[in-house]
Chains A and B, each alone.
Chain A
């Protein structure tokens, strides 16, 4: 893997993976690395280390979910940040408001997600000014995916959902730092994603009403937060509508759980 990265780093692929500097998607910006630095092999060294002591694994302790339905797209996220077993924060904003009609979610490295999605916001705005129309969700997610692909293997950790409403209707794309970019009607990302999928798959119907969809999103995060130690805090719920997104609610996860117990009685 390191040999492969080294081989690519000396080829001039028109700006892709050039050895000293990397161009971010046709903008004039370049990140400058130290000469002879090789971030990819450094990362690989620590991620696949034989000694357990210095192995660094990137965790994405979070639960984020999104699903399309008849009346748009629902995005629900938790708000807990962990550093090992320490809960660093219960009030993290894991939904990034790219612009009034595009949302991005955060899973993995918080800095990675917010930085690249801010860069995405800048590119989307320039697109809109140059082409006199809003960027499509497909194009926006492709920009993000292409940007991070240039740093593949160098230790970026980002699992995000790009969500919006364009000429083709509601859009939901999953983009991650491994280079994956796929679209589907439902995604959940993070350490609590399996729990969220279970709840969502049980209750999902395309023709759901808006209130039912809000409930489903909140419940799925609540159950994930209940069982996954790395998820918790509050559920931030957003609804992507035709003219843009609205922030629906912010509900404390533990309060929701005790309320659900009450309702069962």
Chain B
């Protein structure tokens, strides 16, 4: 796809004659090297699952953190250059708390994603605070807003964010996305959604799936118009679900 390396692909702030910013597109390619992450949105809540990708038996699996909490009601899964995501995650956390401080309400998932996308877009501005290059990470943000709506958003290095019913990112995303398109339907329950995430991961992972080499995060909808509760699933719960697959 990119055999013709032109003079337009070095500058981070350079458009090519066809109107493409190559560096951003290359950054999106970087995601395809990252470990697979899957998200499924249902009326009862949203589920995220990522492959930890343990490259050495000496590595301590629990230190790999690819699903993180942004606030009580929002969680994030990432794929790509994980170090880049730490900046975005911290920014999202601070923004969510600033919003609470000023407006005394939980920030909506879309607003959090928008603030992260603002940061992701501000590369190459050459001031102390911005990156000199695009962020090489895609993020799946999952949460349940204060009005009770459950939301799954995907954001890529171009700063574009879109809502999805189900989405897969990373190395196994093509196969995973195809399976999701076949099996996902809007009226799924959260439990069915979790099973779908696990099945899809199992299908695309090279290693045999187990509770140590994946992470699962759920944001469950509470009764009525209340924000949801995000939490990471415990090892025993994941074991139970995997054995039932």
Contacts and interface: CB of A to CB of B under 8 A. Distances in A.
Interface of A: 27-28, 118-119, 121-122, 125-126, 129-130
B47 to A, nearest CB: 21
A71 to B, nearest CB: 29
Nearest to B69: A129
A118 B93 CA distance: 16
Contacts of A121: 101
Contact of A130 (B71, B93, B98): B93
B93 A122 contact: no
A211 B70 CA distance: 40
B90 A125 contact: no
A119 B100 CA distance: 10
A126 B94 contact: yes
B101 A126 contact: no
B101 A129 contact: no
Q: Is the interface of A mostly helix, strand, loop or mixed?
A: helix
B97 interface: yes
A122 B90 contact: no
B93 A119 contact: no
Contacts of A125: 97, 100
A129 B69 CA distance: 7
Given A126-B93, A130-B90, A118 B101 contact: yes
Contacts of B100: 122, 125
B36 to A, nearest CB: 24
B70 A129 contact: yes
A238 B237 CA distance: 36
Contacts of B94: 27-28, 126
20 contacts: A27-B94, A28-B94, A118-B101, A119-B101, A121-B101, A122-B97, A122-B98, A122-B100, A122-B101, A125-B97, A125-B100, A126-B93, A126-B94, A126-B97, A129-B69, A129-B70, A129-B71, A129-B93, A130-B90, A130-B93
Contacts of A126: 93-94, 97
Nearest to B93: A129
Given A122-B97, A129-B71, A130-B90, 8 more contacts: A27-B94, A28-B94, A121-B101, A122-B98, A125-B97, A129-B69, A129-B93, A130-B93
A122 B70 CA distance: 13
A121 B69 CA distance: 17
Contacts of B71: 129
A27 to B, nearest CB: 8
Contacts of B97: 122, 125-126
Nearest to A28: B94
A27 B90 CA distance: 12
Most chain A CB within a 10 A radius of its CB, from B70, B97, B98: B97
Interface in B46-96: 69-71, 90, 93-94
Contacts of B90: 130
A129 to B, nearest CB: 5
A104 to B, nearest CB: 15
Nearest to A129: B93
A211 to B, nearest CB: 34
Contacts of A130: 90, 93
Nearest to B89: A129
Nearest to A119: B101
A97 to B, nearest CB: 13
Contacts of B70: 129
Contacts of B93: 126, 129-130
Contacts of A119: 101
Nearest to B70: A129
Nearest to A121: B101
A122 B99 CA distance: 10
Q: Which 6 A-B pairs have the closest CB atoms?
A: A122-B97, A122-B101, A129-B93, A125-B97, A126-B97, A126-B93
Interface in B91-126: 93-94, 97-98, 100-101
A118 B97 CA distance: 11
B195 to A, nearest CB: 28
A129 B89 CA distance: 10
A125 B100 CA distance: 11
Contacts of B98: 122
Contacts of A118: 101
Nearest to A126: B97
A130 B87 CA distance: 11
A118 B101 CA distance: 7
Contacts of B69: 129
A151 B70 CA distance: 31
